[in-house]
Each structure stands twice: as structure tokens, then as C-alpha cells.
Amino acid sequence: MTHEFESLRPLLAYLPASEILAIEQGYEFSRHAHEGQFRKSGEPYISHPLAVAGILAGWHLDAQTLCAALLHDVVEDTHATTSEIEARFGKPVALLVEGVSKLDKLSFESEQHAQAENFRKMLLAMAQDVRVILVKLADRLHNMHTMGAMPPEKRKRIAKETLEIYAPIANRLGLHSVYQELEDLGFRYLHPNRYQVLSKAVKAARGNRRELVDKVKIAIQEKLELCKIEATVTGREKHLYSIYRKMQEKNLAFSEVFDIYGFRVVVRDQPSSYLALGALHALYKPIPGKFKDYIAIPKANGYQSLHSILFGPNGTPIEVQIRTTDMNRLAESGVASHWMYKSADAALNDVQTRTHRWLQSLLDIQADHGDSPEFLEHIKVDLFPDEVYVFTPRGKILALPRGATAVDFAFAVHTDVGHRCIAVKINYELMPLRTQLRNGDHVEILTDPHASPHAAWLNFVVTGKARSHIRNYLRNTRVEEAAALGERLLNHALAALNPDAAEPDPAVWDRVVKDYGLQTRQELFAGIGLGRKLPLVVAHQLLQVQGTQSGEPAHPHAISIRGTEGLAVELAQCCHPIPGDPILGFIHKDRGLIIHTHDCPSIRAFRTDPDKWLDVEWEAEPGRSFPVTIKVVVGNQRGVLAKVAAAIAEQGSNIGNVSMEEEDGSPYTVLFFTVQVENRMHLARVMRGLRGLPDVVRIFRVKGRKDGRAAPPQ
């Protein structure tokens, strides 16, 4: 039963019969795999892959891509496997399907991490074969058209994702109409009320401004005919999201946005574009600074056109775009033009080269990042370019995001140039490296073979490539230096605890490294050097494990704690230990040593695992103040809070925080004070001072939560 396929067949007329047969087989496989599955709207699931294939057929994509479109959900949602697809339809189709499929079957620590990992996988597959993203864009476009049946929260999440990632990718690949459609659909579901209001306003204005649009269109046509320039003139309405964005960016009301209509002039060849521009500038005066020549300097996605904003009738600004037929075709179809129009067109080849260069930059960023959310952050930066165009010393044009600096330029030229740059000449004058580049700047980077990136550069670079390489360099350098320092600190700690102990053997090292959740000894040394782990704690564990394995348990001294060790030692927030309290050290693989009081309610369940604990004690003079919470029950009397606060201050203690609980009708109020004390004796003095007040009924120190129940271990 293939009657659904018949709706697709007319769109495949550009393909040979043998390829249409292969696509039909792909449809049959997908229909069988999805049998019994339905979309949220109630339609049979096969309607979705069929619609995606239809969109791609409209772009004249090849048979392999259309086959992958029909099969793109079978691995994710059915029992079919990638190897089955490869056996039936060939490796290229299987790779496309694998690139589009999500990673749902793996588990991630958060939804954000899963989303980032999915994008990373998709973008890297796209770097190998751009058809992956074309299938994904068609998939997203159909999903956005059929989102009405989704719950509101899911609609908003998908719409946000579309505006942040998919629409910019479509723009970057030159798929202009897809880009605009995705933006409008994303806007509709992310801000439904704003969309409705703006949509109605545009419809209302359409009637009011129709006369103006017709008048301008006729005037342009007559002027071009008078100048003997063959051209097609169309009036177009800006898409809703671009109007909304302009209102947001410039803080305008809808009535203040005049250029919701633009005019496109399509001419025969490039010289005619400039002749048409001259004719229109003679018809309507251009607004200074509002002319852009994207023919001489194309956008990064290959887009070419002349843009000019003119003073129209009654001083109304109107936007005009002038381009050739080939440029217009490329502006609408972008990278998909490669399949739609098989030709040796230099412009198409240039688009392919630019696209490949950008996709390759994704691989460069990926090579430096195992962290998916960070990778996604860099990609988002690169997806909103709003380019500036600058010249290298040899006259080559580089496109960079607006706000890019000389350091961004250096990394765009080559990674080594970025690593070694020390100064820059902009328009032949020495300038700071943080200088933001402007259109037309001539930029020359000065380098030194011994130079290296600075952490301060991260404060001003904007491109993903520059940020990625700087972070990677600093991370590696910092880790190497920290590991060397950590090894020295650990050796010193081992000697201090037990000068006669033998060097721990490899099995002891492996056990301790594994206990910390690490892979290598170097990682452990780096953790010590970076202050995340206390050398005495690691030394204590090494000696303990070594003694256990040799049958002669070691008994190193308890570790002394000052409470000022920084990252490596943390005082638990659940019990607020202070000097004088009996304490235990809880070893946390990520946060170092966490100090709890012996009777902290939150650690009862962990006391039974001795491998997690170390004996610790306070130094004689820690030399700092510690926060502790006390609960004071007082009678409801005027001025009682001031009396209690004054009594605390008399004992030389500061109050960090005060909160109050009062039950209706009760003669008593409960006050919670977080006070700063030097040690347990100081706390005792504070509490004695409070007990002497006639209004104080009860007082005690709080451990765990304020309601008396155990808090989770902090």
C-alpha cells in the first residue's frame, strides 16, 4: 500500500526512475518500521518522514538524502538498526541517518548536557557531510509546522532551541527562506501573545501602506525602464520576527517601524546591479551610512546583493536590495543550490568552499573541547556573526563577527599566529590587541616565537575559535605546572607524616587514584597543585592503604585543620564546626576534605564507612572567626531583639544573619542568629551572656536544619 508515496512522486520528477525506485523502497522500509506508531496530532507517524522528504525534494536534493529523510527516525524510534539500513540502502544513507539520530539511548547528567551533546554529534556529522544538517533542518521545519499538539512547555523549549540554533544555522548555510520561516515559527511558539499582537498590527498596516508600496514599485520600474535596465521588481514584507527584533533592539513601537516593506530588484548581470543602484539613488536620496555592498565583499555564507535604504515618498525610509538572477537563486537556496543547480557556477563553488571552511572550524573547536555545553557555547557565538570585513596584509578578505578584536583576527588567520601574537598594526598604526576591528580595516599581526596566549585575552575575544584555543592552552599549561607543584607538596607531606615510610608501590597509587575517581597519578598531582586536594589528606591515604596492603597498618598523626586552607578544605554548612568541636574529615572526590562535627546529624549514615573518613583536629590557634547558628527562644516583649543583639556584641561576636519564627497567639518568639566566634569557648561565653537575660527562655546551638531534622551532608 503506497498511496501516501504518490503524494511525494510528483516532486521527484528531476530524478531518474532507478533512483525514484530506491526512494520508494526506503519509504516501504520506514512505513513498515513505524507501523502502529502515531504522532501527537493522531496522524500515522509515516506522515512526518514523508513530509521531510517532500521539503528536501523541493530543494532538489539527491536520492541518498531523500532516502535518509524517510528513514531518519527508524533507528531512534523503532527496532531497526544502522547496520540493517547500511545493508539495504548503502553506507552513505546509513551515515546520514546516524548523523541525524539523537543520542537518547545514552544517559546524561542533565537535560542541558544531553541537548549540548546532541548538537555536538549533529554538527560534527554535518562537518563530514553537510546533507546531515539539510535533513535536520527539514525535520525541524516540519516539526515546527505541526507543534500545535505539543504541551506548552515543550513547545517553548523547542521554539527557543529553534531560534538559538537551527534558524542561525539555516542563515549560515544561506537557506534564507528556511531561516525566515524557522524564525517566525519559533517566535510564534516562544512568545504566542506578542506574535498575535504583531501579526494583527502588520495585517492592519498592510492595507494602510499598500498604496505607498504600489506607488514606490511603479516609480522604481519606470526609472529602470527609462535607464534601459532590464529588471524584475517585487515589493516584500519583512518577516515578523525581524520586525520584532528591530523593535526590541531599538526600543521602538510598531508605529515607528517604517521599513516593514522592502523592494527587491533582480537584474541580468553584475554591471546592471550598479547601474540600477545609480538610477535608484537618483530617484530617491540614499540615507548616509545605510549602503552595503555585499557583491564586492560577499557575506560568509556566500550571499551577494547591494543593500541601500532610501528616503521614499513623504520621507518614509524604504529598503532596496539589488542582485542578479544567480545571486537571487543563491540567496534563497544557499548551500542547497549545489544540488538544485548542477553547474560549474563559480559562485556556487565559492559557497561550497566557505561552508566547508566554517564546518572545518567546528572540528577545530571540537578538538579542544570534551565539554559539550562549552562546545555549544562557542557554536552559538559563531552562529550570530553580523560580520565585519577586514583585509590581511596580502589583500585577502576575512569575515569576523561584529566586535571581533585583533586577537580574534590572529586566530582566524592561523592558530600559531594567535598563540604567538604580541602586537597589531591596524591601518599601518600600532594599536592594542584588544582593539575592535571595523569594516575595511587593514590588519597586520606581529608575532614572537616565544610568546604565548594570556588569560586576559578571554575578557575581550568573541570568536569561538579564539576563545577555545586560549582556554585550551591555559588549561594545559596550568595543569602541567600544577602537577609539578602538587608532586612536590605530596612528597613533603609524606616525609612529614612518616619519614621512614617506603615509596608507595604502583598498586597503592592505583587504589588511591581510583578512590578519587581519577585516571592517572598526574591528575591527582594537579588536583593538589590547584588547591582542590590537601597534600596531607592524600599522603594520609597513601600511608593507610600501603599499611593495609603490607599487613602493618600505619598510624599517622591526625591532620591539623586551621579552616583557612581554601579550596582543599571545606567546613560543612550543615553543622558549622568551630575550633574545640570534635571533628571528622569526609573525603569528597570533587570537593576535597569536608569537615563535620562528630555528632552532625547529616553524617550518621556515612559513619559506618571508615574509608571515607580521616582523623582531623584543630590547630591550637586557627586565627579566624567561624560562623555558628544558635536558636534563642524569648518572651514576646518590646525591644527583646535589641537586648539579645547587644548581649551578643558584648561578648565580642558579630552577627552575620538573623531570622525569626513566631506562632500566632504564642507568648514566645524563636530567634535564629548566625554569629561569628573564634572557638567553642567563645561560643560558650556568648551563650552564658544570653542566659543571663530575663527574657531568654531557652538557648541552644543548631546542627542540621533549623527544624531539627538532619540535612543532607554538605
Is 129 a known active-site residue? Answer: no
600: helix, strand or coil? coil
Burial of 106 (0-12, 13-18, 19+ CB in 10 A): exposed
d(CA 158, CA 164): 10
How many contiguous H segments (helices) and E segments (strands) does the chain have?
Answer: 27, 19
Residue 348's closest CA among 329, 366, 364?
Answer: 329
* Beta-carbon contacts of residue 301 (< 8 Å; ≥ 6 apart): 171, 172, 173, 174, 334, 335, 351, 354, 355
Q: Is residue 152 within 8 Å of 122, Cβ to Cβ?
A: no
Burial of 402 (0-12, 13-18, 19+ CB in 10 A): middle
Phi, psi of 639 (to 5 degrees): 80, 5
Q: Is residue 174 within 8 Å of 303, Cβ to Cβ?
A: yes
* Beta-carbon contacts of residue 322 (< 8 Å; ≥ 6 apart): 264, 265, 267, 273, 276, 277, 280, 305, 306, 308
Is 77 a known active-site residue? Answer: yes
- The active-site residue, picked from 19, 24, 62, 77, is 77
In what order do the strands lie in the sheet containing 443-447? 429-431, 421-426, 443-447
Q: Is residue 128 within 8 Å of 102, Cβ to Cβ?
A: no
Q: Is residue 538 within 8 Å of 678, Cβ to Cβ?
A: no
Cell 513566631: give the residue: 662
d(CA 309, CA 290): 6
535: helix, strand or coil? helix
Torsion of CA 443, 449, 455, 461, to 10 degrees: 20
Residue 95's closest CA among 141, 131, 62?
Answer: 131
Structural element, H or E, at residue 65: helix 63-71
List the grid coordinates of 460.
Answer: 575581550
d(CA 600, CA 375): 41
Angle (deg, nearest 10), helices 17-33 and 63-71: 10
* Beta-carbon contacts of residue 150 (< 8 Å; ≥ 6 apart): 40, 158
* Beta-carbon contacts of residue 573 (< 8 Å; ≥ 6 apart): 714
Q: Which residues pair with 263 in a beta bridge?
A: 235, 320
d(CA 512, CA 528): 13
Residue 158's closest CA among 178, 130, 172, 139?
Answer: 139
- In 589-639, beta strands by DSSP E: 592-597, 613-618, 626-635
Q: Is residue 565 within 8 Å of 534, Cβ to Cβ?
A: yes
List helix spans (H) across 384-463: 406-413, 415-420
3-state secondary structure 667-682: CEEEEEEEEEECCHHH
Torsion of CA 183, 187, 188, 192, to 10 degrees: 180
- The active-site residue, picked from 24, 28, 76, 377, is 76
Question: What b/e string do you get for 368-387 counting C-beta neighbours within 10 Å, with b at 16 or more?
Answer: bbeebebbbebbebbbebeb
List active site positions. Answer: 76-77
